[in-house]
Amino acid sequence: MNKDIATPIRTKAILEKHGFSFKKSLGQNFLIDTNILNRIVDHAELTSKSGAIEIGPGIGALTEQLAKRSEKVLAFEIDHRLLPILADTLEPYPNVKVINEDVLKADIVSAIQQEFANIDDLMVVANLPYYVTTPIIMKLLEDQLPIRGIVCMLQKEVAERISASPGSKSYGSLSIAIQYYTKAETVMIVPKSVFIPQPNVDSAVIRLTKLDQPAVKVQDEAFFFKVTRASFAQRRKTILNNLTSQLEKGKERKEFILQALNQAGVEPTRRGETLGLEEFARLADALLPHFSS
């Protein structure tokens, strides 16, 4: 029986054996609690026929639990110093493949076609480095990968923003961008004490289940996101003020903006955080004829 990687004693032994030192710039924090890892994997609802994509496997603690419960694991690791460690710790798991690449630059679609040709059920499961959480999640969604969803650990505050509802303090353009593609829920909170080294913040695990169709229908996706970002540029400002100052030639086109707000049934004095996805969709479509180049 292999001893689990994710215990304080085994983790320290592995790091000492390989003389590994943490790189702060890569946001490396390794989990040392097998129960929490198992609960993360539970939320991914994998079967022996599933494929798992992992980002930032570290020394393989989560990878090991994924390998036990899925048909195949493909892990992207940016830090080449971890490759010999992973080769060592994951030796008992022939169903794991590690690619030494920055996932933000990787062609994940091609990798999926090559590695998961006969697998229909695919999940991304990851303990994401906190400094690049949002770009990674957005890439996974915008690349339209054939995945069922994403279960990932990230900073608690970011998890709150992702799953926030209109009217709450955490709700913003990130909530909208992710809820446009997925059903987002925070499934567990993880204390900082279960990591080595300990991060400065508590973590949370979110589950994003991909929707068959985007949550709302819009004429121009890129413009829809532009409008939502503009609406939250300064949270204390009204939606009219934000759109006027943020959209190109907004001041000159203020009449059109007022007209579009009226058409979408949105009071100009409201703040961005009070609008739901449906309202933003109507507003973006009403604004589009006046701002399309």
Could you tell me the CATH number of the domain that includes residue 241?
A: 1.10.8.100
Instruction: State the total domains in the chain.
Output: 2
> Would residue 2 count as lying in a domain?
no
The per-residue pLDDT for 267 is 97
Q: Is 277 annotated as a binding residue?
A: no
Q: Is 42 annotated as a binding residue?
A: no
Tens-of-pLDDT digits for all 293 residues of the chain? Answer: 567 898 999 999 998 999 888 776 666 788 889 999 999 999 999 999 999 999 999 999 999 999 999 999 999 999 899 999 999 999 999 999 999 999 999 999 999 999 999 999 999 999 988 888 999 999 999 998 999 999 999 999 999 999 999 999 999 999 999 999 999 999 999 998 998 888 888 899 999 999 999 999 999 999 999 999 999 999 899 999 999 999 999 899 999 999 999 999 999 999 999 999 999 999 999 999 998 76
What is d(CA 106, CA 114) in angstroms, rounded to the nearest whole number?
13
In a shared domain, residues 98 and 61 = yes
What is d(CA 196, CA 58) in angstroms, rounded to the nearest whole number?
11
Q: At what angle do helices 34-44 and 61-69 cross, to 10 degrees?
A: 50
In a shared domain, residues 99 and 235 = no
How deeply is 145 buried, as exposed, middle or buried, from its count of CB atoms within 10 A (0-12, 13-18, 19+)?
middle
Q: Is 283 annotated as a binding residue?
A: no
In a shared domain, residues 120 and 237 = no
In a shared domain, residues 106 and 170 = yes
In a shared domain, residues 177 and 278 = no
Number of alpha helices (DSSP H) and beta strands (DSSP E) in the chain: 12, 9
Q: Which residues lie closer than 8 Å to 28 by C-beta, 6 or more apart?
A: 22, 58, 79, 129
Quote the pTM value. Answer: 0.91
What is d(CA 114, CA 107) in angstroms, rounded to the nearest whole number?
11
Strands ordered across the beta sheet of 122-127 = 96-99, 72-76, 51-55, 122-127, 149-155, 203-210, 182-190
Q: Is 31 annotated as a binding residue?
A: yes
Q: Is 102 annotated as a binding residue?
A: yes
| Domain limits for position 249 | 221-291
CATH at 191: 3.40.50.150
Q: Where are the alpha helices (DSSP H) in 52-92?
A: 61-69, 83-89
User: Which residues, listed in sequence order, are joined to residue 155 by a DSSP beta bridge?
Assistant: 203
What is d(CA 274, CA 166) in angstroms, rounded to the nearest whole number?
5
Q: Is 51 annotated as a binding residue?
A: no
